[in-house]
Amino acid sequence: MGIGFYLQFPFAQHALEAAFLVAVSCGLIGPFVITRTMSFAVHGTSELAFTGAVAGLLIANNPLVGALVGALVVATLIGLLGQRASERDSTIGVILAAGLGLGVFLLGYYHGYASEALNILFGNIFGISSSQILLLGLIAIAVAAVLTVIWRPLLFASVDPDVARARGVRTGLLGIVFLFVLAVTVTEAAQIVGTLLVLSLAITPAAAAQRLSPNPFVVTVLSIAMAVIAADGGLLLSFQFATVKPSVLIVAISFAFYVAARLVGPAVASRRRRRSAGPEMAELGRG
Amino acid sequence: MTAPLVELRGATVRLGQRTLWSGLDLALSEGEFLAVLGPNGTGKTTLLKVLLGLVPLSAGSVEVNGVPPHAGNPEVGYVPQQQAFDRTLPIRGRDLVRFGVDGHRWGLPLHSRATRRRVDAVLEAVGATDYADAPVGLLSGGEQQRLRIAQALLGDPTVLLCDEPLLALDMASQRAVTRLIDERRREAGSPVVFVTHEVNPVLPYVDRVLYLVRGRWAIGTPAEILTSERLSALYGIEVDVVKVRDRYLVVSAEDELPTEPGAHAHHDHAH
């Protein structure tokens, strides 16, 4: 029983669709996450999706909605308590610890199957219904729409905050909006790869892409492409190798992209240098 | 004489309980080069923020080209000090410069051919064409500052505000960057407000200096202000100003003189 066999079933098709939607959103936000040094915020919000999901299971028997609401609460808390970049790191640490404690506490009151809750940690891509696909699709569209609107000023604010402020960019407001986009994206991704492995779609592809080009547009395209290949590729491979969980294969592919990018990155950069200008460009190599 | 392009009257800034400076009167006309000097923490950068519309005055009034300053005013060009960019930051020189055209506008970073031509032209003007496509994190301080100036010039500014743009640059880059700024004020008549802790590299261009020390201030030509008498009065301690080979050196008996217009005499500034 290989890939072709599984693909006739709705659960497999849903899984591929969900992985695609999630990967596009993650690939989109990744370059911004790295430029704004917010990897820890991704990690924090994704682990707290666990707490939100358990709360959602308890209250409404709906982990996804619980996780989404929880993500918005977490983003608001990080935004309120960690306004300055210097304190954001520790703030996230504090909120993460408190939130996980709450999640474990809530889990004690949940009498359903423990695997429901554990799925949140490691992802459960094969349990996705059509209504969930619809929700994931709406989220992906919303994320892309918001990012399209704030793209340029957000990039400006991320790279060069002082000058951006002088030019009238509302850097604080953009930071909060991006935090919400990030929280929602990460929560969405947690359904697929699990909260523990979200970084493999939200950080790793963008980090790999950065090694291959200094052009922000190219980096974003590469980041999305690698996230999609990792997510759907990992899924397809898991049909072939049924004993390995898909999230493991997704992580493996995205990590392989990163290693490859680190290896060929320097060669790509030096070829670009030689092509772009005359002899004095050799000087640029120093940094 | 035409109306001043930058005008402060009785300007006062208080941050919390502390008064940074008060009653500041200043008028800059076309093509004037003002160096803002003084120790750290006396509100040199805050003066720029007032002109950028980022910090409000506690008292007095301020106008840039006849209107109160507001953030995002394209008439004001801003050149910050050099900063360390991450080596893998996915931003090229031309991306940084392009923010000067439309970085504040909503939308995707797509650019018309006209914009691209304008960016190319300004890159050429500051001599940055060669490294326009290199990642900014790999550029030297001097190269970065040329891009900064290109970015500020793209807005076709009426006024140029520079915040320690020469900091951490070698002598050759300092000269190149200063020359670009000087060119702008001569060609377009933009007055320059130049915050620095070292007046000597810009001395040939400076028309007037504004010297801020702990709430007190003095303004005038370098020859008027950079004297033992004036600086001793400003600092409230005995300070000697010596002019050696067209460079000002400020010497004090006490070690606490934090930052000076010229080199610290008790430091090694042998460049």
Count of beta carbons in the 10 Å neighbourhood of residue A241: 12
The answer to whether A171 contacts chain B (CB < 8 Å) is no
Burial class (CB in 10 A: 0-12, 13-18, 19+), B219: middle
Question: Is residue B84, in this structure, part of any structural domain at all?
Answer: yes
The answer to whether A61 contacts chain B (CB < 8 Å) is no
Among A272, A223, A214, A18, residue whose Cα is nearest residue B90: A214
Separation of CA A8 from chain center: 29
Expressed as residue numbers, the domain containing B53 is: 6-264
DSSP secondary structure letters along A203-217: THHHHHHHTT-S-HH
Instruction: Write out chain B residues lying below 8 Å of A216, CB-based.
Output: 90-91, 95, 109
The answer to whether B95 contacts chain A (CB < 8 Å) is yes
The answer to whether A267 contacts chain B (CB < 8 Å) is no
Count of beta carbons in the 10 Å neighbourhood of residue B206: 20
Question: Is residue B271, in this structure, part of any structural domain at all?
Answer: no
Among A29, A34, A68, residue whose Cα is nearest residue A182: A29
The answer to whether A165 contacts chain B (CB < 8 Å) is yes
C-alpha–C-alpha distance, residues B180 and B163, integer Å: 15
Question: Is residue B269, in this structure, part of any structural domain at all?
Answer: no
Instruction: Write out chain B residues lying below 8 Å of A213, CB-based.
Output: 90
Question: Is residue B270, in this structure, part of any structural domain at all?
Answer: no
Give A117's pLDDT tier (boundaries 50, 70, 90).
low
The answer to whether A152 contacts chain B (CB < 8 Å) is yes
Question: Is residue B49, in this structure, part of any structural domain at all?
Answer: yes
The continuous run of DSSP H or E covering A29 comes out as helix A10-35
- pLDDT (tens digit, 9 = 90+) per residue, B90-130? 999 999 999 988 888 898 888 888 889 999 999 998 999 99
Give percent of chain A above pLDDT 90: 50
Q: What pLDDT was estimated at residue A193?
A: 79
Q: What pLDDT was estimated at residue B269?
A: 36
Q: Which amino acid is at A66?
A: G
pLDDT higher than threshold 70 for residue B263:
no
- Decide if A284 and B138 are in contact by the 8 Å CB cutoff: yes
C-alpha–C-alpha distance, residues B83 and A158, integer Å: 14
Give B10's pLDDT tier (boundaries 50, 70, 90).
very high
The structural domain count of chain B equals: 1
CA angle A162, A168, A169 (to 5 degrees): 70
DSSP secondary structure letters along A47-59: HHHHHHHHHHHHH
Please, which residues bridge with residue B216 across strands? B213
Calculate how close chain A gets to B173, using CA atoms only, in Å.
15
Give B250's pLDDT tier (boundaries 50, 70, 90).
confident
pLDDT higher than threshold 80 for residue A118:
no
Question: Is residue B250, in this structure, part of any structural domain at all?
Answer: yes
How does the average pLDDT of chain B come out, rounded?
A: 88
pLDDT higher than threshold 80 for residue B270:
no
Give A283's pLDDT tier (boundaries 50, 70, 90).
very low
Total-model pTM = 0.88
Give B67's pLDDT tier (boundaries 50, 70, 90).
very high
**Residue with more model confidence, A46 or A122:** A46
pLDDT higher than threshold 50 for residue A169:
yes
Token pair in block for residue B28: 């800059």
Question: Is residue B116, in this structure, part of any structural domain at all?
Answer: yes
pLDDT higher than threshold 70 for residue B259:
no
pLDDT higher than threshold 80 for residue B149:
yes
- Decide if B130 and A278 are in contact by the 8 Å CB cutoff: yes
How does the average pLDDT of chain A come out, rounded?
A: 87
C-alpha–C-alpha distance, residues A265 and A268, integer Å: 5
B6-13: average pLDDT: 95
Q: What pLDDT was estimated at residue B74?
A: 81
CA distances from B231 to A273, B112, B163, B227, B247 (A): 50, 52, 22, 6, 16
Please, which residues bridge with residue A202 across strands? none
ipTM: 0.87
The answer to whether A156 contacts chain B (CB < 8 Å) is yes
Instruction: Write out chain B residues lying below 8 Å of A155, CB-based.
Output: 91, 95, 103, 109
Domains of chain A with bracketed CATH: 3-279 (1.10.3470.10)
pLDDT higher than threshold 60 for residue A201:
yes
3-class secondary-structure state, position A278? coil
Give B17's pLDDT tier (boundaries 50, 70, 90).
confident
- pLDDT (tens digit, 9 = 90+) per residue, B206-244? 999 999 998 899 999 999 999 999 999 998 888 889 888
The answer to whether B236 contacts chain A (CB < 8 Å) is no
User: Exposure pattern of A71-86 as b/e (b: 16+ CB <10 Å)?
Assistant: bbbbbebbbeebeeee
Residue B194 is given by DSSP the state: E
Please, which residues bridge with residue B192 across strands? B33, B160
Instruction: Write out chain A residues lying below 8 Å of B100, CB-based.
Output: 167
Q: State the CATH number of the domain containing residue B187.
A: 3.40.50.300
- Decide if A166 and B71 are in contact by the 8 Å CB cutoff: yes
User: Exposure pattern of B16-26 as b/e (b: 16+ CB <10 Å)?
Assistant: eeebbbbebeb
Q: What pLDDT was estimated at residue B257?
A: 56
Question: Is residue B71, in this structure, part of any structural domain at all?
Answer: yes
- pLDDT (tens digit, 9 = 90+) per residue, A211-265? 999 999 999 999 999 999 999 999 999 999 888 888 899 999 999 999 999 999 8
The answer to whether B135 contacts chain A (CB < 8 Å) is yes
Q: Which amino acid is at A56?
A: G
Burial class (CB in 10 A: 0-12, 13-18, 19+), A174: buried
* A interface test, pick of B46, B48, B120, B138 with most A CB neighbours within 10 Å: B138
pLDDT higher than threshold 50 for residue B271:
no
Q: Which amino acid is at B35?
A: A
The answer to whether B134 contacts chain A (CB < 8 Å) is yes
Q: Which residue of B has its CA nearest to A269?
A: B134
* A interface test, pick of B131, B148, B167 with most A CB neighbours within 10 Å: B131
pLDDT higher than threshold 70 for residue B264:
no
Which A residues in the span 219-238 are in contact with B, Cβ-Cβ below 8 Å?
A: 219
- Decide if B54 and A217 are in contact by the 8 Å CB cutoff: no
